């Protein structure tokens, strides 16, 4: 609406300015030039004739000049006298002062009417533009706003006036609805697949866990074999926990049960699980914390995020240190490994992307899972260069980023 009004103001102002210039040019041609011509005609005779060379034009010389014109300088003047408007040309001829006077009251009234007409036309144009703007808003902008609101609320299917529209709004609405349907199907298949795989893995993991516990009990006298059996049991138990966490990832974030979680205990537990990765390496792994930090979160999901970052740091650090710092606002994990090449830094948290150029174990899923878990919990992940050349990952416990994962989960829930 503002654009319409501004356009009307600019165009109307341009036409009004042109009309004003035309009126002023007309006034100059009709009055000022005629006064000058009258003065020339007046002095053609000797002595000068006081007869009017043009109707409505009078001449006065010397003392004949009215007193109200006595103080005027030579040149053209426009005066508004009581009861009339006049144009006066003051000059000197043969050393004597003269005045050529024309009563322009009728012309001034016409000029005022012309200016009033210009203002009326200008304001009418602005009002007409405003009316047209409202019509355009009701015809185009309002349906677009309704379409945007329907897409944001994900209730486009409940708006038949948008889906059945024959104009471009209908085309957009149907395209958005088709795309949303595809997203619903993809998300539903993903959740069903995750749930099915997790469910199917539970049974063999339970068997493995039971067998490992039995084997560990029978090998109590053989320390070396018992340690191997205990590692199998611990790995099976951890895998079972991870499967349960994957099931939680398949659910909407709003439905996940959160508890007041002690992060220092969780981080210590994950550090102990990762220490075997540093066997034989001159690498230290330490936790720095000025106190405990508690957040409302799901234990299994938080363990996945912390554990994957720790395993990533321990795997690629060959010497130096892995430093873990627990702060009230986040968890910092620094390493002295090879770092992350600049060409993959922006997409490192995507699937199947590894940060190191040399062959390495892993499929590139670990950091993408960390990102997905963080978004599910309302956290954020930040990657920076480490102070000693490695990598510095920060888990921020309160994310200010848009909760895109929750929005996509809501779409799947509707499906």
Return the pLDDT at 48.
Answer: 54
Query: Which value, to the nearest 10 degrees, does the dihedral of the CA atoms of residues 318, 319, 320, 325 take?
Result: 20
The answer to whether 170 and 162 are in contact (CB under 8 A) is yes
* Residues near 151 by beta carbon (within 8 Å), at least 6 away in sequence: 176, 180
Q: Which tokens is 245 given?
A: 């966490």
Return the pLDDT at 361.
Answer: 43
Q: How far is CA 369 from CA 348, 351, 383, in A?
A: 11, 8, 15
Record the pTM: 0.48
Return the pLDDT at 386.
Answer: 83
Residue 283: other Cβ atoms inside 10 A: 19
* Residues near 60 by beta carbon (within 8 Å), at least 6 away in sequence: 50, 66, 69, 98, 99, 101
Strand bridging mode 259-262 / 84-93: unpaired
Q: How far is CA 413 from the centre of its chain?
A: 27
The number of CA neighbours under 13 Å toward the Cβ of 71 is 2
Q: How far apart are CA 298 and CA 288, in angstroms?
A: 23
Q: How far apart are CA 227 and CA 234, in angstroms?
A: 10
The pLDDT profile of the chain, 415 residues, written as one tens digit per residue, is 788 888 888 888 888 888 888 887 877 777 777 777 777 777 666 555 554 555 567 788 887 888 778 778 888 888 887 877 888 888 887 778 888 888 777 777 887 888 888 888 888 888 888 888 888 777 777 788 888 888 888 888 888 888 888 888 888 888 988 888 888 888 888 777 777 777 777 778 788 888 888 888 888 778 778 788 888 887 887 777 777 777 777 666 666 777 888 999 999 999 988 888 898 899 999 999 888 889 888 888 888 889 889 988 998 899 999 999 999 899 999 999 887 776 656 656 554 444 444 444 444 455 778 888 888 888 998 888 888 778 899 999 874 434 433 333 333 344 3
Q: Which tokens is 84 given?
A: 């009339």
Residue tagged 């957040």 (tokens) = 295
Residue tagged 């038949």 (tokens) = 160
44 φψ region: left (φ > 0), alpha (ψ -120 to 50), beta (else): alpha
């Amino acid at each position: 609406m503002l654009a319409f009004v501004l356009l009307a103001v600019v165009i109307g102002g341009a036409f009004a300015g042109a009309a004003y210039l035309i009126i002023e040019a007309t006034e100059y041609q009709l009055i000022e030039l005629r006064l000058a011509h009258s003065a020339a005609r007046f002095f053609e005779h000797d002595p000068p004739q006081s007869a009017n060379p043009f109707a409505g034009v009078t001449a006065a010389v010397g003392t004949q000049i009215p007193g109200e014109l006595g103080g005027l300088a030579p040149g053209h003047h426009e005066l508004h006298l009581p009861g009339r408007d006049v144009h006066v040309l003051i000059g000197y001829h043969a050393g004597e002062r003269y005045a050529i006077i024309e009563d322009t009251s009728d012309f001034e009234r016409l000029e005022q009417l012309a200016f009033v007409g210009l203002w009326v036309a200008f304001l009418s144009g602005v009002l007409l533009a405003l009316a047209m703007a409202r019509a355009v808003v009701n015809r185009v902008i309002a349906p677009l706003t309704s379409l945007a609101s329907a897409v944001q609320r994900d209730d486009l299917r409940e708006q038949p006036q948008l889906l059945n529209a024959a104009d471009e709004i209908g085309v957009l609405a149907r395209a958005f609805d088709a795309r949303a349907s595809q997203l619903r199907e993809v998300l539903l298949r993903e959740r069903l697949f995750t749930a099915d795989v997790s469910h199917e893995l539970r049974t063999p993991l339970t068997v493995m866990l039971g067998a490992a516990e039995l084997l560990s009990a029978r090998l109590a006298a053989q320390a070396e074999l018992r340690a191997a059996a205990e590692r199998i049991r611990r790995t099976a138990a951890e895998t079972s926990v991870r499967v349960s966490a994957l099931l939680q990832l398949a659910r909407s974030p709003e439905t996940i049960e959160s508890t007041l979680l002690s992060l220092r205990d969780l981080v210590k537990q994950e550090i102990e699980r990762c220490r075997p990765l540093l066997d034989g390496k001159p690498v230290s792994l330490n936790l720095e914390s000025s106190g405990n930090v508690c957040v409302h979160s799901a234990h299994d999901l938080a363990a996945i995020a912390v554990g994957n970052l720790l395993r990533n740091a321990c795997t690629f650090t060959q010497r130096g240190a892995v430093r873990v710092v627990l702060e009230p606002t986040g968890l910092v994990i620094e390493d002295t490994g090879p770092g992350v090449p600049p060409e993959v830094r922006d997409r490192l948290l995507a699937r199947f992307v590894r940060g190191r150029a040399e062959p390495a174990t892993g499929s590139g899923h670990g950091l993408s899972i960390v990102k997905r878990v963080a978004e599910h919990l309302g956290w954020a992940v930040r990657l920076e260069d480490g102070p000693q050349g490695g990598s510095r990952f920060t888990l921020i416990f309160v994310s200010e980023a848009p909760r895109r994962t929750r929005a996509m989960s809501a779409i799947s829930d509707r499906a």
